[in-house]
A and B are shown apart, each in its own frame.
Chain A
């Protein structure tokens, strides 16, 4: 088990390691002995190894084996052969998978790395006589790990500011802890007092982990375990217990002092303190749901087991409640033995609780079919419901639950430390094997370039200044001084605020943008693997890695790009012998380039392979009886490639799937990314696929209008002007209405008409004159509101079945504004 903070910190840092590893391995492969690559690799394996202290023994072991091989390669004891590199690549992948498993709460043991570890071990150093090699054993948790010295490695030392901050915090917490413990009366079980001590211990544990003071962290963890037992009533605070805690607190203080002097925390001997605390340490976690003999476990144990079995769903609920400032409680109800309908009583309690608080879980589960009589009229035994446990979250002290539970029996409510619950991995035995993965925990943090944050910070500072100015102005105006000056000042402030808020919107939008590099990073490895599998020689070139794209489209973009790469490698590039025969370079070239042009993102995937065989395309088109196929020119033929099911390959090859798969790419780009795909090709010379994507997170200037009880937005770029229309000026009837505007008749639309509703004519109407190219149209609305900038969010097709809207925006008051897609304005000449 590890602390929430330390684990979260580890997950954050580990995010970048796997990619870096792959890049470095690629460099090393290209240039054996590449110094920078080696340095990077050692740094990464070192980081991974340190996770042993957080309980991730498997990760540490794999990293250790990889490091061994790299060390021997560095020392020229071995040369890195292809199988070795393959194993290293595999190891890097597995490490990433293990980290992901940890992020999902499954623990690093969920990933099987035994094979790769064994393989790497064969190239590792032979155990030399007298060599002190640390072999990390898979640790079950911090409580079980050997108290081996773990110095803070030089590369991982904190920067001076962080050091100072940690030192200050640690000194406070450590002092607090010692004071509270000294004041503790032996025998005192008051939950309040113990909670008070628990808090600084818990905080210190987290901070120590974040500051890489793993010995300190481990010792505080031991203290915490003891305190937890006392809090749960499993341990009395005798004089001995208190003394053990006090001694441990002293050691902690010594370690903090050592940190302050710049000494590693291993300079303090903690063995004695750990031993003393271990005497009162908790028993190892129970793994089996049913003890042998099949007897019903005691209620308290059951509750504990159920908590351990909380899946990702319950945990997510608890986490969210925690964010709302609610606490997690456990309600236990012992029913009156004379109760005849235990299930109904439990159900009544549960229903009442649902009204009062947020229920997370119930044990036994509230399955109302449990009391349905079967065909013979028999009803299952409802005795288990005599002991009911309900987990719920609620603000405050949870007393509302007691009120709701009145009359059900003997009811107790206790507050739980929700952090502990979230940190524990679900007990394997209680969850049946799941063929589908449970919903992964949503990471709600993102990594943002600090320069972007700095920009925001500057803007916030300016905002604060303007706020102060408004305050002064308001004061003056209230007092009646200088009304004129006050008004002018206000206008100035408004202008400033306008600029600042625009800047903030821009800055916020930019925090959403990340360089496309995150997608490109995977390509070298991919191309390498493909080349090997296909027995081709392919060089990859990338350009424009710094082009920024919206974070939200990264996933949707990665797939089609990978597909295109696979196509290029699989179908585009010819075999080396063939290329030589054709007078080409033996090694094929694939290029992926990204850039931003005219408000769009342009990504080109090109290769110098055989190009599209237009004759084959034509033949296929004719075979498919596509009209006009025989006479189509090259451009039209290339378009056909995007049709679903269109493939000119006779057999599916498992690399690029069936044929070209361009229809999948095209539909993904068009639907998910609202972009376009273009294809250019020259037989024998190569192919180029271009993706054109809109810059997604858009801020648009719009005109807000009201109509049909909703507020709509019309993009200002499509607005010519606004006007009033007299009923008498409207010509035409039914669906085809028109209006004379600047001596020409233009079509007239109504919001009602667009929505398919009948439209009441009024005497005089507000209207917007829309433009599309050179054509104009008139849109009649109920009321013209204002011009402003809005942030557009996409609107799912299900909510947009007439495709009337290009998006939706949320106003400050939470209501929605629907952005009209003005393509109903007829184009010129139609």
Chain B
């Protein structure tokens, strides 16, 4: 069993008080949190939809799923929507802040540093910083558990 380390670029962001990251390849765009249309039959974690380049894109609020509380004092001006592409379609993830683009190494062997938080597909780190990588597919799964 090898713990392979692959260097990549990640977007790090905060949802509630916790920090996460996603490979840049999965993030298509970052837009401001505005003009989110309400859905008539809303079903959490879907918070609404936005129109983007002619597409109507569902926006998800994962805070409850990721068991994170709302950030104290995180002004709504910092909130962003990460537009990601999974299963060939665009989706928006509501985040409290987008931190930065950073080069991290993904741990191929996830068992090394202890238990992963729920909805994390692995960990990415550099130096002493370790961020859980958000498992989009699982986080966005709306089927009943």
Contact = CB atoms under 8 A, between A and B. Distances in A.
A799 B45 CA distance: 10
Interface stretch (B49-57, B63-71, B110-118): B49-57
Interface stretch (A36-44, A157-165, A294-302, A429-437): A429-437
B27 A313 contact: yes
A432 B101 CA distance: 13
Contact of A367 (B6, B23, B25, B102): B102
Contacts of B129: 367, 369
A439 interface: yes
B24 A798 contact: no
A436 B101 contact: no
Interface class of chain B by DSSP: strand
Given A794-B56, A799-B56, A354 B41 contact: no
Given A313-B27, A434-B8, A439-B27, A798 B46 contact: yes
Given A369-B129, A432-B103, A796 B25 contact: no
Contacts of A362: 100
B58 A439 contact: no
Given A438-B9, A799-B58, A816 B37 contact: yes
A710 B101 contact: no
A361 B12 CA distance: 13
A438 B25 contact: yes
A801 interface: yes
A365 B46 contact: no
Interface in A403-435: 431-435
Contacts of B38: 710
A708 interface: yes
Interface string B84-106: 01001101000000011111000
Nearest to A374: B128
Q: In the complex, which of the residues A316, A369, A804 has the most CB atoms of chain B within 10 Å of its own CB atom? A: A369
A210 interface: no
Interface stretch (A116-124, A211-219, A449-457, A807-815): A807-815
Contact of A796 (B9, B29, B58, B100): B58
Q: In the complex, which of the residues B27, B29, B35 has the most CB atoms of chain A within 10 Å of its own CB atom? A: B29
Contacts of A818: 40
Interface string B1-29: 00000111101100000000001110111
B142 A435 contact: no
Interface string A747-777: 0000000011000000000000000000000
A436 B25 contact: yes
B137 interface: no
Contact of A710 (B6, B9, B40, B91): B40
Contacts of B9: 311, 313, 431-432, 434, 438
A436 B7 contact: no
A798 B42 CA distance: 10
B25 A804 contact: no
Contacts of B100: 362, 365-367
A447 interface: no
A795 interface: yes
A796 B40 contact: no
Nearest to B45: A798
A755 B6 CA distance: 47
B131 to A, nearest CB: 9
A515 B129 CA distance: 52
Nearest to B108: A435
A314 B102 CA distance: 12
Nearest to B37: A816
B40 A708 contact: yes
Contacts of A369: 128-129
A439 B86 CA distance: 12
A481 interface: no
A15 interface: no
Contacts of B8: 432, 434-436
Nearest to A320: B29
Interface in A776-830: 793-796, 798-799, 801-802, 804, 808, 810, 814-816, 818
B54 A313 contact: no
Contacts of A397: none
Nearest to A436: B25
A659 B3 CA distance: 35
Contact of B142 (A355, A368, A798): A798
B37 A815 contact: yes
A808 to B, nearest CB: 5
Interface class of chain A by DSSP: loop
Interface residues of B, number: 44
B140 A793 contact: no
A556 B57 CA distance: 18
A366 B28 contact: no
Contacts of A712: 40
B76 interface: no
B99 A354 contact: no
A810 B25 contact: no
A437 B58 contact: no
Contacts of A361: 101
B10 to A, nearest CB: 11
Given A438-B25, A799-B56, A808-B56, A755 B41 contact: yes
A814 B37 CA distance: 9
Contact of A799 (B12, B28, B49, B103): B49
A201 B75 CA distance: 46
B27 A793 contact: no
Given A434-B8, A816-B37, A801 B43 contact: yes
A799 B35 contact: no
Q: In the complex, which of the residues B37, B77, B78 has the most CB atoms of chain A within 10 Å of its own CB atom? A: B37
Contact of B7 (A368, A432, A815): A432
Contacts of A708: 40
Contact of B25 (A374, A431, A437, A799): A437
A358 B51 CA distance: 21
Nearest to A354: B78
A793 B25 contact: no
A371 B14 CA distance: 17
A798 B39 CA distance: 11
A814 B58 contact: no
Contacts of A439: 24-25, 27-28, 85
Q: In the complex, which of the residues B12, B24, B40, B54 has the most CB atoms of chain A within 10 Å of its own CB atom? A: B40
Contacts of A799: 39, 46, 49, 56, 58
Nearest to B60: A798
Contact of A798 (B12, B78, B85, B140): B140
A311 B11 CA distance: 12
B103 A756 contact: no
Contact of B40 (A365, A435, A755): A755
Interface string A355-394: 1000001100111110010100000100000000000000
A361 B24 CA distance: 14
B47 to A, nearest CB: 10
A435 B6 contact: yes
Contacts of A432: 7-9, 103
A755 B23 CA distance: 37
B25 A798 contact: no
A29 B28 CA distance: 42
A311 B102 CA distance: 11
Nearest first, the 3 closest Cβ-Cβ pairs linking A and B are A432-B7, A799-B58, A369-B129
Given A316-B29, A796-B57, A801-B41, 8 more contacts: A367-B102, A374-B128, A380-B127, A432-B8, A438-B24, A439-B85, A672-B88, A712-B40
13 contacts: A313-B9, A316-B29, A365-B100, A366-B100, A432-B8, A434-B7, A435-B8, A439-B28, A710-B38, A798-B140, A801-B142, A804-B40, A818-B40
